[in-house]
Amino acid sequence: MIDARAIRRDFPIFEQAMNGRPLVYLDSAATAQKPRPVIEAVRRFYEEYNANVHRAIHALGERATESYEEARRKVARFIHAPGPETIVFTKNATEAINLVAYSWARNNLRPGDEIALTPIEHHSNLVPWQLAARAVGARLRFFELAPDGEIRADRIDEVIGEKTRLVAVTQASNTLGTLVPVESIVAAARRRGALVLVDGAQSVPHMPVDVQALDCDFLAFSGHKMGGPTGIGVLYGRREVLESMEPFLGGGDMISSVRLDGAEWNELPYKFEAGTPPIAEAIGLGAAVDYLSALGMDNIRAHEQRLAQYALERLGALPGVTVYGPRERAGLVTFNVDGIHPHDLATVLDQEGIAIRAGHHCAQPVMDWLGVPAAARASFWVYNTEEDVDRLVAGLKTAKEFFGHVVGA
């Protein structure tokens, strides 16, 4: 079980007040707050052994290299990857997906090939495939949504066909909270010989993820959404697929030898990590992995499920509030309040010390499907409590009263 009140003491940001009120942070789907062990790990690197990795022949460089590579090993164990060489450090999940779009898709797709996606993807797992498809003459196809935002599992085989070369799907929607049936999609892709990329940005921080059990070829996620620093992301890739790919970026450390007329690439994963990598960020991510592993990902998932269901009940009981997405969901709720633009709603809630997200959530096709220009979103993580949901509900009532008076005047 998660003791969120005790966990909050690990996060220094909650020691402050916002507008004279205790901070209620309901925007972890955008970025999570950082626990002290992560902050301390980054601080120790800069204060005690700041040096570049893989190159320096001195004690600081050796310690930095070992800490950087230990972070890679921790991430590999965390997602049950077969080995650390399958873990590529990137800037974020977006860069990890673009790495595959440029290094694999543009070199392997041909005119008429198809890429299968869900219509609820974050722009980061949609725009790169639009660009790749345009560059090679491929076509995008989309799975069908049920009225509640679930993926129609009975229609998967109608989208994944003989021309499908790649399937790229989120594991959990950042807007509707939909949990995508990745296992069924992977099975269908295997029957057609297609590769599968899973966008784990909204799943890896919130639930157990096992890449070998999923049988996916790629998994992308970001450190900053799981309590790690910004500026660090991860691409897991099946070893044989990564070995077949060309580098994404050229420069230092991604080579084994260079001549004026050519070069040979470094071994995995280094051929995809050109230049000085995000060393402090990777070390901080390793600390975040330790922190989450100690809490237990099953416990985190159960905690978020309870909060999401509680929020659905409380928000569903409010007149004039529309909640989007299926009943069974990830740890977030997206909603609108009649007569109040989400940006205005977020502004009023901010005055109450409550931080939510408002806008299109980098998922404009989802907003089009819902028939709204924008929506409000409250997302939960390990430090959130039922009292946070109660504060949100009270804040919504305050907003309705305020705008009711304004409209009435």
What is the distance between the alpha carbons of residues 72 and 382, in angstroms, rounded to a whole number? Answer: 23
The DSSP string of 226-293 is GTS-TT-EEEEE-HHHHHHSPPSS-STTSEEEEETTEEEEPPTTGGG--SS--HHHHHHHHHHHHHHH
Q: How far is CA 56 from CA 90, 160, 252, 281, in A?
A: 22, 49, 14, 19
Residue given tokens 């069974």 in the structure block: 328
Q: Which residues, 6+ apart, have CB-to-CB distance to 262 below 8 Å?
A: none
Exposure b/e, 286-296, CB count within 10 A at least 16 = b = bbbbbbbeebe
Decide if 176 contacts 332 (C-beta within 8 A): no
Q: How far is CA 230 from CA 35, 38, 357, in A?
A: 13, 11, 18
What is the distance between the alpha carbons of residues 73 and 340, in angstroms, rounded to a whole number? Answer: 48
CA–chain centroid gap for 409, Å, is 43
DSSP single-letter state for residue 312: H
* Residues shown for the chain: 409
3-class SS at 115? Answer: strand
Decide if 223 contacts 66 (C-beta within 8 A): no
Dihedral-angle region of residue 177 (phi above 0 means left; psi in -120 to 50 means alpha; beta otherwise): left
Q: One of 131, 153, 295, 362 is an active-site residue; which one? A: 362
Residue given tokens 């992977």 in the structure block: 186
Angle between helices 279-295 and 297-316 (to 10 degrees): 80
Active site residue 216: no
List the 195-199 sheet strands across, edge first: 87-90, 233-237, 218-222, 195-199, 164-170, 114-117, 139-142
Residue numbers annotated as active site: 362
